[in-house]
Structure 1
Amino acid sequence: MAKKADRYFEVNPWKIVETHFDPAYAKVAESIFALGNEYMGVRGYFDEGGTTKSLTGSYFNGIYERENLGSGGYKGVVNDTEFMVNAVNWLAVKVIADGETLDLAKCKIEDYRRSLDLKTGLLKREFIWVTGKNVRIRLRFERLLAMEHTTEAVQKITAESVDFDGELQINLESDFGMIHQMHQKNYWDVQEKKAESTYTYIAAKTIHTDIYLFSGSVVCGESNGKVLEAAGYVEEKKAGVTYQVSLKPGKQAVFIKKTWNGMEDMPDWREQLSHVSYESILAENEEWWSEVWKKSDIEIYGDEENQQGIRYCIFQMMQTYHGAKAGNNIGAKGLTGEAYNGNAFWDTETYCLPFFLFNNRKAAKNLLLFRYQTLGEAKKRAEALDCKGAFYPIATISGRECCNLWQHASLQLQASTGVAYGIWIYEKVTKDREFIEQYGAEMLVEISRMLATRGDWSADGTKYGYYCVMGPDEFQMMVNHNCYTNFMGKFTFVYTLRVLNEHEGLAEKFHVTKEEQEDWKKKAEAMLLPYDENRQIFEQHDGFFKLPHVDVDAIPMEEFPLYHHWSYDRIYRNDMIKQPDVLMFMLLFNHAFTKEQLLANYEFYEPKCIHESSLSPSVHSILAAQLKKKKEAFDFFGFATRMDLDNYNRNTEEGLHTTSIAAAWMNIVYGFGGMRSDDEILAFSPTIPICWNGYRFRVETDNGTIIVNVKTDRVEMTLESDRECEVLVYGEKYILSSKRTEIAIPEEWR
C-alpha cells in the first residue's frame, strides 16, 4: 500500500486534540472538528473567520439546491444536479480589541489548543491573543449541538484579560451570506430579519428549491457578575448584536448565544430557548453520548492510536445519522463538507446499514425507508434509461439522479442491487416480516423489473448478463459482464422470487405474473459469472485478465488523489483497481465461497488496488483477517480507522469519508471479531493483533445484546438478556446466555 499517514493530532482515547495552529492544516482540521446531530452540521471553522484558508460550512439534512447544467441532447443524461447547500452561519463572530480585529492568520497567538470531547460533543478552542500593542487576552470558544433536540445549539465565548486594559468589542451574528464554495454562489433569498439587544432572527429561502430555514438566537453577555448591554443590527443577509466591554487585567467577559434552527416557523422559539442553557445542553449531551458508548463502544487494550481512531469513527457515525427522522440519508461526506454534493451513494446499504443493524435498528429501518419514499423517482429514472421498474440513482439527495457523469449515472447498477442487499440483510438480522410486506417487496419487484430489462442474452442465447456497465471499481467503464453486477443481479432475482413465494398475496398485489417470475428465474439461472476454474479466480469483467499491469506501489505520493493528477481516461487503461469489486461481493456473501476461492481472489486483486476510495481498506482488512494474514489485516485496519485523522488520502479537507467511517466499525467486528451475518446463524471467529492485549465489542440481536470480549488466549461471550442466543464460534455451535461463555482461541487463529 503506497499511502502513508500524515500524523497531526495528539493521541488520546477520548479526545481529538490540536496543540498548535498550522494554517496549512486548517481545512483538514475543520473537517476533523466538524460537529453534527443528523439534522444540522458545522465544520470546525473559526467562529471569528479571518483570512486563513477555510471552508466555512454550515449544512442541514434535507436542505439542498438545484442547478441546471444545460441540455446534453441525449436521453438519460442528467441535466439537473442537486446538492447540499451551504446555509446560515449561526456561529459568526467578530472580536475587536482597541480597534484591532482578531485574525489568526495575521495575529500573534500563544498557548493554542483545540479539543473535541467524544463523551459530550463539546468543541473547545482556546489561546492567548497577543495584540499589536503587545498585551494579552485569553480567549476561549466553545460550541455544542444538541443531540436530542436537534434544532438547538449553543455557542459560548470567554474573554479574559491577562494584561490588556482597554475596550473589547464582540459581535455575534447569524449570516445567510455564505458562499457555496463548490459553485461560488450564494443560494439564499432573505425573507425577514430582526435584531434586538437580547435576540436576533433571520429567515431565508433557497432560490431554486424554495426551502425555508429560520435561525433565531437568544444572546446574553456578562462581565464579573454584571449583565452587559448590547445593540442589535441588521445588514443585507445578517442579523447580529454587538457588545462593548471595558476589560482589565484579571477580569473576564462571557458571551452566550443559544440558537434554534428550523425549517418552519416556530412562534414560541424564544420561549423554548429560555429553558435551554449551555449547561443543560452539555448535560443532556453527556447523557446521550453515555448511552451511545454503553451500547456501541469498542474498547481496545494496548493500542491508543487505534482506540482513538475507532471511537472517532463511531462518534462521527452517530453525529451524522442515528435515525432521528425516517427518510433522512447519509451523504458521502455527511454534514462535514461539500465534496460529492452531500449525495448518498450505494455504500449506504452496503457499508452503513450493517453498523446500524447491530447498534440502532430504528436507524437501520429509517435508512431503508428513504429508498421506499424515493421509489417513484427511481421508477422515473428507469424510464429515462429505457428500462422498466426502478433504477436507483448512483448519487442523490431527494431521490433524483444528481450525477451528470453519464458513465456513472447510467452504467452503475450497484445502487439498485445495493438496496436489494440492504432489504435482504435487514430481514435476515431483524426478522421484520412486516417491513418486507409493507415496503421491501415492492422495492424488490421494481428493481427486478429493471434488471430484467437492463440486461441481455448472449449472441447464442445461452447466457444472461449486463453489457456496457461500470462496477464498484469505477476505474473500468463500458465493460461487459462485470462480475459484481452480474452476481448481484442474480442474487436480486433469486431473493425477490423467494419473498414472493414466502409472502402470500404479494405477487398479486404488485401484479407480478407467473410469466414474469419464470423470466426472472431463467435469467438468474443463466447469469454469466466470469470465472477461471483452474485458478479459482472470478474475472472482474470480461477481458480484465488481458489488461496492461500497473505497479500501484510505484506511484509517487505526490500524484494522489489520482483524479487530480492523472488525465481522466488514463485511469481506465490498465488493471489498477480503485476499490474492491470481486472482493466486495465475496465479503457480502462470504459463506458462499470456499477458503481456497477467497485466498486466490484476495492474492490476485489486492496488489492491484490503489485504495483511491476510502471504502477500500476495510474490505481488505476484513478478508485478510479471515485468511489469517495478520500483518496485512492490521496495516489495513490502521488505514481504515485513521483515514481522516491521519489524512491518508490527502483530501480530508474536503470533508470526512463518512461511509468509510462505518466500514471501520466493520473492520473490527467483521474483521478481527470474525463476525459473519450473511448465513442462517450469526458466526464469529475472533483473532487478535499481536500488539493488542485484548478488545471488546457489542452487537445487538433479536435475543439481546452480545458482548464479545477477546483476550490473548480466549474469547468471553455474554448475552445481555434473560433469553438465549445460538451462535457459531470457530465453526462450533454455542448457546449464549447471561452466564459467561469462555472459548479458547484455536492455535490457528492466534
Structure 2
Amino acid sequence: MQEYIKADPWSIIEEGFDKELVKSSESIFSIGNGAMGQRANFEEQYSGETFQGSYIAGVYYPDKTRVGWWKNGYPEYFAKVLNAPSWIGIDVYINGEALDLNTCKKVDRFSRELNMKEGWYLRVFTAVLPNGTQVSVKVTRFLSLDLDEVGAINYEITPENADAEIKFVPYLDSGITNEDSNWDDKFWNTTSVRSEAGQAFIEAHTMKTHFETCTFMENRLFLNGQALIAKPAEHTADMRVAHEYVQMAKQGETLSLHKFGGYTVSRNHQASALVEASRTALGKAFELGFDTLLEKQKQAWAKIWEMSDITIAGDIKAQQGIRFNIFQLNQTYLGKDSRLNIGPKGFTGEKYGGSTYWDTEAYCIPFYMATKDQNVARSLLKYRYNHLEKAIENAQKLGFSNGAALYPMVTMNGEECHNEWEITFEEIHRNGAIAFAIYNYYRFTGDYSYIPEMGLEVLIGIARFWHQRASFSTAKNKYVILGVTGPNEYENNVNNNWYTNYLAKWCIDFAVEQLQKVEDGYNDDYRRVIGKTKLTDSEVSQWKKVAGNIYFPYSEEKGVFLQQDGFLDKELITVDQLPKNQRPINQKWSWDRILRSPYIKQADVLQGFYFFEDHFTEEELEKHFDFYEPFTVHESSLSPCVHSIQAAKLNRMQQAYMFYLRTSRLDLDDYNKEVEEGLHITSMAGTWMSIVEGFGGMRIVDDKLSFEPKIPEQWEAYSFKINFRNRILKVTVKKNSTEFLLNGQDDMSIRLNGERVVLKPNKLKVV
C-alpha cells in the first residue's frame, strides 16, 4: 500500500519528485470532462518511464482476438480504448537545453494538486538544468465542462538565477501507440497535418472503425501577464505539427504560454466539417480566454458538487477518498450523451478495454439516479435496449435461439469483445445485473414507463436465455446451470453457482410479473411487444417450470448456501492464515493454484444477498457473511463496497469502516498494486453506496425512502443528498441525531429506523 498522497479534504496533493511514482501519479491525477480525458502526463519532454494516454469518449479499435486455440463463439476482436493523438505536448528549451525532469541536475519544490472542488490540475517545481540554468515552473491544466471539446494549459516559466532564452514548442502528435495492443496494429491513419494562421490541425481516423477526428491547438504568449505579438515558426511532418516561440526573459520575469487544444469527432460533426468545428471551438475558447474559461470551470463544478457532495467531519482521509471517487465518476460520465457509458478505467488507462461492463448496472446506476436525475439513469438503460439485437446475436453465436439475449461481458457497440473463455462464455450473471437495474430504476424513480416502452423486450430476451441455459438433472430432479463463472472469477467452469442460479430464477419471475403488469395497464405496448417477440403462453409456462424448480446448492452442516457445487471439497484455509508475502494472490500464484483454493476474489454469494436483501433475514445474512468473508481476498475493486454495506447492516461498524477506507482509497493508496495502469472508475460508485446505503442505511421500503443511519466512531458527522423522484433530500447524520432537509413544495413521508417521519419542505427535521 502506498501512502504518498497528502490528506486534504478537497485536493489530491503530491509533494516531492519521485521517478518511481510518475506512472502512478499519471493515473491518480487524471482529468476528464465526459467527452475526453487524459492521464497526468507532463507537457514537456520526459525521458523517464511514463504511460502516455489521451482518450476520446466512444472512440475505439477492434483489435483482433489473440488466443492459442480458437473456439466457436469467440468474439473476433477485443475493443481497445484508444490512445488518441496528443494535443498537450509543449517541448521547452532553456538557453538551448531541453527541460526534462529525468535529466535535470536538481528538482526542488515539486508538487502536484488536483483540485476536485474546482476541476483543475496544477504542477509546480523548481529545476536546475544540466547547463546550470535554474527555473521555476507552474503549469495549470483543465478540460472544460462548458466547451467539452476544449482543454486549456497555462505553462509559466520564471528564470531564477540568470536571464534566459526560453523556447516553447507546443505541438500536436498523431504518432502515438497504445500500451494495450494484441498485435501492435496501426490503430490510427493520419490524413492531414496543417498549420494555418496560428492554428494547427491533425485529421486522423481509426482503422477499421473509421472514427474521424481532428486534433487541434492554438497558442498565445504572455510576458509578466501582458500578451505578446509573437508569430511562431511552423514545423510540420507526417504525423506532427509544432509551433515554435522564442523569447528572452530576464531573471525573475515570467513567460507564459496559453495553449488551447482538444478534439472534434465525427460522432458529433460531419467528417468533412471537423476542421471548421475545431476553429469554432478555438474561437470560443480564445474569446473567453484562459482565466474566464477557468472561472466557468469552477462554476460548473460548483453546480455538480451542490448535488453530489458527501461531507465527512473529523476524518480527512475518508473525506478525501469519497470526494476523489465522486470527482472521477463525474469526470468520466455526466449523462449528456446516451451513446456513451462508463468504462471501468474511464479516461485513465487502457486495461480491460470496452466501455461497458455489468458494473454500470450493478454499481453506477444507483449513484447517477440519486445525484443527477432519472433521465441520466434512463439513458444508461436505453443504452442496453439499443443493443438488444446485438445481445440476441451474441446468444445466437453460442447456440441459443428464439430471441434469447446474452448481453456482452465487455462491449463498445453491443457485440461481445472479451476474449477469455471463462468470462466470455461463462460469466453469464451479467444478464441478471441488467434485469436488476431495470427493477432498481423503477423502484427508486417510480418511473414505470421504461418497462413497457423498452424494458419488457429486454426482460423477455433475458428470460429466454435463462430458460435455455438451464438443464434438467434427473439425479437432482431439479434444473441446474452448469459450466459458469460467478462474480468470483477465482472459480471458473463451476456448476450451480448460487448467485447465478438465484439471478436466473429471479429474472424469470420478474419478467413474468412485468408481462402481466404491462398487459393490464399498457395494452398497446403489450400487443406491440408480443407481436415483435412472438411470445406465447406456452413458452412462459416453460419459463415458470424452470424458475419454480431450480437447484440451489446448500450445506445443512454449515447452514449456508454454497457458492457452487463442491465448494466444501476445498481445503478451507481462511485468508488470515495466508502469509502477507503471498498477497495479492493474483500476482503471486499460478492460476491453477488459485482455482483450487477457496479464496474469493469478490462478493459472490454476498452479492446476491446485497441485491436481494429483503429476501433474507438478518440472521441469514450474518451467517453467510461470517462464512464467506474470511475466504475473501477482495482483489476485485468491486468487493469492499458490498462488504462495507453488509457489515454496517450487521452493526459491525469498525469492519464496515475499514472496508469503506479500502474502497474509497483503493487507488489513492494503491491497495491492489496496479494503479499505474489506471483508476477503478466503476467501483467508485460502490464507495458512494458504502456511505449512503451502508452507513446511511438508505433503502426503498413500500415505495418510500427508509433510513437506518449509523456513524463510524472515527467520524463526527456526515451528510449526503438524494434526488428522490425530483425532490432533493439532504441527510445529515451526527453522533446522537439525524437531520433531514427537504427541498420542494410537498411533504414527504419517510421511515427512520422503522418509524414513520413526515418531512415538511424547507424545514429542518432533527430526530
- TM norm structure 1: 0.96
| 1:508 and 2:510 are equivalent in the alignment | no
Residues 53-102 of structure 1, C-alpha deviations (whole Å, 9 max, x = no match): 11110011111111223684421122321111111111012111122111
Structure 1 residues 256 and 163, CA, compared in 2 at 3 Å: closer, same or farther?
same
| 1:116 and 2:78 are equivalent in the alignment | no
Higher alpha-carbon deviation: 426-435 or 526-535: 526-535
Decide which of 383, 389, 400 is 1:376's aligned counterpart.
Answer: 389
Structure 1 alignment gaps of length 5 or more: 745-750
Higher alpha-carbon deviation: 681-690 or 531-540: 531-540
In the TM superposition, residue 557 of structure 1 has moved relative to its aligned partner by: 4.5
Name the structure 2 match of 1:454: 469
Name the structure 2 match of 1:747: none
Name the structure 2 match of 1:548: 571
Residues in 2 aligned to 1:164 and 1:494: alpha-carbon distance in whole angstroms? 77
In the TM superposition, residue 460 of structure 1 has moved relative to its aligned partner by: 4.6
Residues in 2 aligned to 1:49 and 1:459: alpha-carbon distance in whole angstroms? 68
Higher alpha-carbon deviation: 378-387 or 157-166: 157-166
Query: Is the contact between residue 590 and residue 676 of structure 1 (CA under 8 Å) also seen in structure 2?
Result: no
Residues in 1 aligned to 2:679 and 2:354: alpha-carbon distance in whole angstroms? 11
Query: Is the contact between residue 743 and residue 762 of structure 2 (CA under 8 Å) also seen in structure 1?
Result: no
In the TM superposition, residue 499 of structure 1 has moved relative to its aligned partner by: 1.1
Name the structure 2 match of 1:748: none
Any residues of structure 2 matched to 1:208-247 within 5 Å, and which? 208-224=208-224, 225=226, 226-247=228-249
Name the structure 2 match of 1:641: 664
Name the structure 2 match of 1:416: 431
Name the structure 1 match of 2:270: none
Structure 1 residues 89 and 440, CA, compared in 2 at 3 Å: closer, same or farther?
same
In the TM superposition, residue 558 of structure 1 has moved relative to its aligned partner by: 4.6
Structure 1 residues 138 and 186, CA, compared in 2 at 3 Å: closer, same or farther?
farther
In the TM superposition, residue 302 of structure 1 has moved relative to its aligned partner by: 0.5
Residues in 2 aligned to 1:386 and 1:538: alpha-carbon distance in whole angstroms? 30
Residues 432-475 of structure 1, C-alpha deviations (whole Å, 9 max, x = no match): 22211221111111111111111111125731231111100111
In the TM superposition, residue 268 of structure 1 has moved relative to its aligned partner by: 4.5
In the TM superposition, residue 414 of structure 1 has moved relative to its aligned partner by: 1.8
Name the structure 2 match of 1:55: 51
Residues in 1 aligned to 2:450 and 2:627: alpha-carbon distance in whole angstroms? 40
In the TM superposition, residue 113 of structure 1 has moved relative to its aligned partner by: 1.3
Higher alpha-carbon deviation: 221-230 or 124-133: 221-230
Structure 1 residues 94 and 451, CA, compared in 2 at 3 Å: closer, same or farther?
same
Higher alpha-carbon deviation: 278-287 or 419-428: 278-287
Residues in 2 aligned to 1:409 and 1:90: alpha-carbon distance in whole angstroms? 36
| 1:91 and 2:88 are equivalent in the alignment | yes
Give the residue type in structure 2 aligned to 1:508: I
Structure 1 residues 542 and 571, CA, compared in 2 at 3 Å: closer, same or farther?
same
Residues 199-236 of structure 1, C-alpha deviations (whole Å, 9 max, x = no match): 10001011222211111222111224332231121122
In the TM superposition, residue 275 of structure 1 has moved relative to its aligned partner by: 2.5
Residues in 1 aligned to 2:386 and 2:147: alpha-carbon distance in whole angstroms? 24
Structure 1 residues 104 and 687, CA, compared in 2 at 3 Å: closer, same or farther?
same
Residues in 2 aligned to 1:343 and 1:554: alpha-carbon distance in whole angstroms? 38
Name the structure 2 match of 1:532: 555
Residues 332-356 of structure 1, C-alpha deviations (whole Å, 9 max, x = no match): 1111101112442111100111111
Name the structure 1 match of 2:743: 720
Residues in 1 aligned to 2:556 and 2:300: alpha-carbon distance in whole angstroms? 53
What percent identity do the matched residue pairs reach? Answer: 33
Query: Is the contact between residue 334 and residue 342 of structure 1 (CA under 8 Å) also seen in structure 2?
Result: no
Residues 667-686 of structure 1, C-alpha deviations (whole Å, 9 max, x = no match): 10011101123764322100
Structure 1 residues 603 and 499, CA, compared in 2 at 3 Å: closer, same or farther?
same
Residues 126-155 of structure 1, C-alpha deviations (whole Å, 9 max, x = no match): 111212233311111121101133211111
Any residues of structure 2 matched to 1:175-186 within 5 Å, and which? 175-183=173-181, 184=184, 186=186
Any residues of structure 2 matched to 1:2-401 within 5 Å, and which? 5-69=1-65, 72-107=69-104, 108-183=106-181, 184=184, 186-196=186-196, 198-224=198-224, 225=226, 226-264=228-266, 265-266=273-274, 267-276=276-285, 277-360=289-372, 361-388=374-401, 389-401=404-416
In the TM superposition, residue 739 of structure 1 has moved relative to its aligned partner by: 5.4
Query: Is the contact between residue 455 and residue 466 of structure 1 (CA under 8 Å) also seen in structure 2?
Result: yes
Structure 1 residues 271 and 479, CA, compared in 2 at 3 Å: closer, same or farther?
closer
Any residues of structure 2 matched to 1:527-676 within 5 Å, and which? 527-532=550-555, 535-676=558-699
Q: Secondary structure at the match of 1:287?
A: helix
Residues in 1 aligned to 2:196 and 2:143: alpha-carbon distance in whole angstroms? 24
Residues in 2 aligned to 1:129 and 1:196: alpha-carbon distance in whole angstroms? 34
Residues 381-416 of structure 1, C-alpha deviations (whole Å, 9 max, x = no match): 100111131101111122111111111100011221
Residues in 2 aligned to 1:412 and 1:308: alpha-carbon distance in whole angstroms? 34
Residues in 2 aligned to 1:566 and 1:177: alpha-carbon distance in whole angstroms? 38
Residues in 2 aligned to 1:547 and 1:682: alpha-carbon distance in whole angstroms? 42
Q: Secondary structure at the match of 2:152?
A: strand
Structure 1 residues 268 and 594, CA, compared in 2 at 3 Å: closer, same or farther?
closer
Give the residue type in structure 2 aligned to 1:83: K
Residues 686-711 of structure 1, C-alpha deviations (whole Å, 9 max, x = no match): 00111211111111111511111101
Residues in 1 aligned to 2:311 and 2:617: alpha-carbon distance in whole angstroms? 32
Query: Is the contact between residue 135 and residue 161 of structure 2 (CA under 8 Å) also seen in structure 1?
Result: yes
Q: Secondary structure at the match of 1:339?
A: coil
Residues in 2 aligned to 1:594 and 1:242: alpha-carbon distance in whole angstroms? 70
In the TM superposition, residue 159 of structure 1 has moved relative to its aligned partner by: 1.1
Decide which of 475, 479, 482 is 2:490's aligned counterpart.
Answer: 475
Residues 24-53 of structure 1, C-alpha deviations (whole Å, 9 max, x = no match): 111110111000111111001111131221
Residues in 1 aligned to 2:411 and 2:186: alpha-carbon distance in whole angstroms? 21
Higher alpha-carbon deviation: 224-233 or 343-352: 224-233
Residues in 2 aligned to 1:357 and 1:176: alpha-carbon distance in whole angstroms? 38
Q: Secondary structure at the match of 1:275?
A: helix
In the TM superposition, residue 486 of structure 1 has moved relative to its aligned partner by: 0.8
Residues in 2 aligned to 1:283 and 1:59: alpha-carbon distance in whole angstroms? 24
Give the residue type in structure 2 aligned to 1:192: S
Name the structure 1 match of 2:732: 709
Structure 1 residues 242 and 185, CA, compared in 2 at 3 Å: closer, same or farther?
farther
Query: Is the contact between residue 353 and residue 367 of structure 1 (CA under 8 Å) also seen in structure 2?
Result: yes
Give the residue type in structure 1 aligned to 2:295: A
Query: Is the contact between residue 87 and residue 262 of structure 2 (CA under 8 Å) also seen in structure 1?
Result: no
Residues in 1 aligned to 2:573 and 2:148: alpha-carbon distance in whole angstroms? 48
Structure 1 residues 215 and 487, CA, compared in 2 at 3 Å: closer, same or farther?
same
Residues in 2 aligned to 1:250 and 1:197: alpha-carbon distance in whole angstroms? 32
Residues in 2 aligned to 1:498 and 1:81: alpha-carbon distance in whole angstroms? 37
Q: Secondary structure at the match of 1:88?
A: coil
Name the structure 2 match of 1:486: 501
Structure 1 residues 550 and 77, CA, compared in 2 at 3 Å: closer, same or farther?
farther
Query: Is the contact between residue 129 and residue 136 of structure 1 (CA under 8 Å) also seen in structure 2?
Result: yes
